[in-house]
Homo-oligomer: A and B are copies of this chain.
């Protein structure tokens, strides 16, 4: 297994459960997308609009998260921060509301629950929201986890099967490549970095009760509150590979966050993190056999945490049995060749 991110670790864990011997080469946290991820588990959002196979995979993986988490917690004793209060989506302007309605309709067509709400009802759920908001919805089935806790638990479960250190080329013999943006250099497959900035704020615990997905003057922002008063604000999306925390990106996130929740102006800015989503030409993942001895599980774009359980199950099954699950068909690594 090359790649010790959330996907690689989960695949390795599932392989071990099937009795396979695995070694995970872990390149560390410095360019790991999960390290910045907020851990929203929301299928059928803007990232898969109109992509039926991907939407189906997201929905399938979301349905596996509770079981995946329960099993991992039972094995390690570690809490993953799984939270089932659902998402509150909010639109600031009339244009934002029109865009949100379009996304909500897409969810409803897939039988995902969306309870549309007038502004007063949104603010009854989340009193800290700005009086300016024009509408919203409660999406009760969305989950969140804390990706840093998930990775810690997977590392604990795998113990000394995880070997620190980045590999420069593929090792001989059967290998799974789950190396995120590093997959491109190792395999030649088209995985590009998509830069994202995430902020961490800290303040009064309980100011927000749900994950907030906001549409604010055409900008998308999410606000993910943790129980201890930490609040994650994400995320920019830029087609570039540098790690610079730019003034413009910080401004964009803070403006959207305080437009939606004015009291966040008083929160402390505690952390700025830049990481890169591993993204493919169609922004759907590369999942399956690529060469005789090489299986790939990479390119999860914005959905790495959400897609972790289904990826782990399907790839471990492929490694173990040699037979691909039909769900993998649409995500063949060679589809761009």
> Which residues in A have some Cβ–Cβ distance to B below 8 Å?
199, 201, 244-251, 254-255, 257-258, 264-269, 272
A268 with B254: CB separation less than 8 A: no
State which of B248, B251, B268 has its C-beta within 8 Å of the C-beta of A251: B251
Chain B neighbourhood of A254, CB < 8 A: 247-248, 250-251, 254
B255 with A269: CB separation less than 8 A: no
- In the complex, residue of chain B having the shortest beta-carbon distance to the beta carbon of A255: B251
Chain B neighbourhood of A199, CB < 8 A: 247
Distance in angstroms from A207 CB to nearest chain B CB is 12
Chain B neighbourhood of A244, CB < 8 A: 268
Chain B neighbourhood of A246, CB < 8 A: 265-269
Q: How far is the CA of A247 from the CA of B264 in the complex (A)?
A: 7
Chain B neighbourhood of A247, CB < 8 A: 199, 201, 254, 257-258, 264-269
User: How often does this chain occur in the complex, in copies?
Assistant: 2
- In the complex, residue of chain B having the shortest beta-carbon distance to the beta carbon of A231: B247
**Residue of A247, A254, A258 with most partner-chain B CB within 10 A:** A247
- In the complex, residue of chain B having the shortest beta-carbon distance to the beta carbon of A248: B265
Given contacts A247-B265, A247-B266, 10 further A-B contacts (CB under 8 A): A245-B269, A246-B267, A247-B254, A247-B257, A247-B264, A247-B267, A247-B269, A248-B266, A251-B251, A254-B254
Q: How far is the CA of A254 from the CA of B247 in the complex (A)?
A: 7
Q: How far is the CA of A247 from the CA of B268 in the complex (A)?
A: 6
Chain B neighbourhood of A250, CB < 8 A: 250, 254, 269
Q: How far is the CA of A249 from the CA of B254 in the complex (A)?
A: 10
**Residue of A245, A258, A269 with most partner-chain B CB within 10 A:** A269
- In the complex, residue of chain B having the shortest beta-carbon distance to the beta carbon of A250: B269
Q: How far is the CA of A249 from the CA of B265 in the complex (A)?
A: 7
Instruction: Contacts A269-B272, A272-B269 given; indicate if A248 touches B255 (C-beta within 8 A).
Output: no
- In the complex, residue of chain B having the shortest beta-carbon distance to the beta carbon of A233: B247
A255 with B258: CB separation less than 8 A: no
Q: How far is the CA of A199 from the CA of B254 in the complex (A)?
A: 15
Chain B neighbourhood of A265, CB < 8 A: 246-249, 251
**Can you name 6 A-B residue pairings with CB atoms under 8 Å?**
A245-B269, A247-B265, A248-B266, A249-B265, A250-B250, A250-B269
Distance in angstroms from A251 CB to nearest chain B CB is 4
Distance in angstroms from A205 CB to nearest chain B CB is 16
- In the complex, residue of chain B having the shortest beta-carbon distance to the beta carbon of A267: B247
Distance in angstroms from A133 CB to nearest chain B CB is 19
Q: How far is the CA of A267 from the CA of B247 in the complex (A)?
A: 6
**Residue of A246, A258, A272 with most partner-chain B CB within 10 A:** A246
B266 with A258: CB separation less than 8 A: no
Q: How far is the CA of A264 from the CA of B246 in the complex (A)?
A: 8
Chain B neighbourhood of A264, CB < 8 A: 247-248
Distance in angstroms from A155 CB to nearest chain B CB is 31
Distance in angstroms from A246 CB to nearest chain B CB is 6
Chain B neighbourhood of A272, CB < 8 A: 269
* 5 pairs of A and B residues whose beta carbons are closest in the complex: A248-B265, A251-B254, A244-B268, A247-B267, A245-B269
- In the complex, residue of chain B having the shortest beta-carbon distance to the beta carbon of A201: B247
Q: How far is the CA of A264 from the CA of B199 in the complex (A)?
A: 19
